[in-house]
Amino acid sequence: MWRRIANIALVVTIWAAIAAYVVYSATLVRRHKQEQNIERLAVEIEDSTAAGQLITSQRVREMLLEQGIATINTNVGSVDKIAIKELICNEGFVDHVGIYTTYNGTLHIRISQRKPLFRLVTEGYNCYITADGYIFGAPDHAALHTPVVSGVYRPIFKPDFEGDMRVALAALMAEAEDSVRIVGRATAPVLERQEHWLSRRKAVRDSTITERGERRRLYRYIDGHLRDCKRELQAIAAQQSAIRQRAEVTRQRYNELRELIAFISTIESDRFWRSEIVQIVASTTSYGSLSLTLIPRSGDHRIEFGTLADSERKMTKLRAFYDKVMPTCGWDSYKSVNLNFADRIVCTYRTAN
């Protein structure tokens, strides 16, 4: 029994010593932090792409200096980590920021940047788009080696938009629905007027007016107002239909942008096409569809790719053409290569020969 009591006392003593040590250590750490100043700033860029960096450690230091956020020789507890994180995250290409301090007074800022799939440089647009549809503006101080989409193509989002393209679509759809509701508010007073004139017509029909000419005159007068009401209701319905049609076009353009992202992802996943296709020129057809022209690295021709419909078959035809025809005819023989025909490739020679 006494041995059991001694064992229990020993265990209690050990745990009490451990608890006292933890409390004492925490007190020392807290006191150290209160007295410790930041002696060194370490900025780490977790760059997931070999195409380059959109932000550097030097740029981060310049940003902190420009905003007057104190770090070096500042007490550890006084460093505004929230302000530092918000400042860096304001750059759209930054995906995540982690900030912590070590016991020796080093402030660590760890940054991971987004990995863009391509750069969109069209009328008024200069931005990067990732494979998952995140959009951010191209910074002035850096650039990445990614495929470039140029031309007169205009996506659904505004030139200064930054964020997920699904958010842009949702905002546009909500705006369209609001417009439909606002236009629809004009229906109620027209329906009231219509009901009023229908009641007047019924009253004339049920009246004791015996003069046929007077009755016809009243009917013409009332029917004129009813026709006006009908025209107003038709105009309101037509305006709502036009808004919905524009919203549907916006959704189609969104889907085309998703298809463009998937198409470029396919190119980038293929070693040959990743090296061969250096630029994509985007335009809009007379039917409002997205059309592409590919600029290859080899030869001096343009590939008229057309719409993204059946893109896999087109790329298969193009690869066969590169493997079998180009080595025989010469890489500079053609001015253009057109893939917009189901059963053949139509080429335009550079000369009359």
- The span from the CA of 15 to the CA of 198, in Å, is 92
Which tokens sit at 304? Answer: 């008229």
Instruction: Check residue 61 and give its pLDDT.
Output: 82
Confidence of residue 140 (pLDDT cuts 50, 70, 90): confident
What percent of the chain clears pLDDT 90, i.e. is strictly above it? 22
184 three-class SS: helix
In a domain, 189, yes or no: yes
In a domain, 348, yes or no: no
Q: How does DSSP assign 45-102, residue by residue? A: EE---TT--S--HHHHHHHHHHTT---TTSBGGG--HHHHHHHHHTSTTEEEEEEEE-
When mean pLDDT is compared across 37-41, 138-142, 155-159, 253-257, the lowest value belongs to 138-142
In a domain, 23, yes or no: no
Which tokens sit at 230? Answer: 């009908």
In a domain, 274, yes or no: no
pLDDT by residue (tens digit) across 296-325?
Answer: 888 788 889 888 888 888 898 888 888 888
Q: Are residues 103 and 180 in the same domain?
A: no
CATH of the domain at 99: 3.10.20.310
Instruction: Check residue 4 and give its pLDDT.
Output: 66
Pair 321, 339: CB distance under 8 Å: no
Instruction: Check residue 248 and give its pLDDT.
Output: 92
Q: Are residues 175 and 98 in the same domain?
A: no
In a domain, 96, yes or no: yes
Instruction: Check residue 237 and give its pLDDT.
Output: 94
Q: Which residue has the tokens 């998937």?
A: 262
Split into its structural domains, the chain has a count of 2
C-alpha 32, offset from chain centre: 46
Widest distance between CA atoms in the chain:
126
- Within 10 angstroms of residue 148's Cβ, the number of other Cβ atoms is 15
47: phi then psi, degrees, rounded to nearest 5: -85, 115
The whole-number average pLDDT for the span 318-340 is 83
In a domain, 242, yes or no: yes
Best CA proximity match to 201, nearest among 221, 231, 228: 221
* Sign for the pseudo-dihedral over CA of 312, 317, 320, 322: negative
pLDDT by residue (tens digit) across 184-203?
Answer: 999 999 999 999 999 988 88
List Cβ<8 Å contacts ≥24 apart for 90-99. Answer: 91/54, 91/55, 91/136, 91/139, 92/135, 92/136, 92/137, 92/162, 92/163, 93/54, 93/55, 93/128, 93/136, 93/139, 94/55
Which tokens sit at 268? Answer: 């980038």
- The span from the CA of 83 to the CA of 60, in Å, is 13
Q: Are residues 173 and 251 in the same domain?
A: yes
pTM score, whole prediction: 0.75
- The span from the CA of 7 to the CA of 237, in Å, is 88
pLDDT by residue (tens digit) across 144-179?
Answer: 788 889 988 888 888 888 889 999 999 999 999 999
In a domain, 78, yes or no: yes
Q: Which of 222, 256, 290 is the last residue of a domain?
A: 256
- Within 10 angstroms of residue 127's Cβ, the number of other Cβ atoms is 22
For residue 196, the enclosing domain spans 169-256
Instruction: Check residue 92 and give its pLDDT.
Output: 73
Query: What are the residues whose beta carbons fall under 8 Å from the beta carbon of 199, sequence distance 6 or more?
Result: none
Higher-confidence residue of 68 and 92: namely: 68
Q: Which of 214, 238, 256 is the last residue of a domain?
A: 256
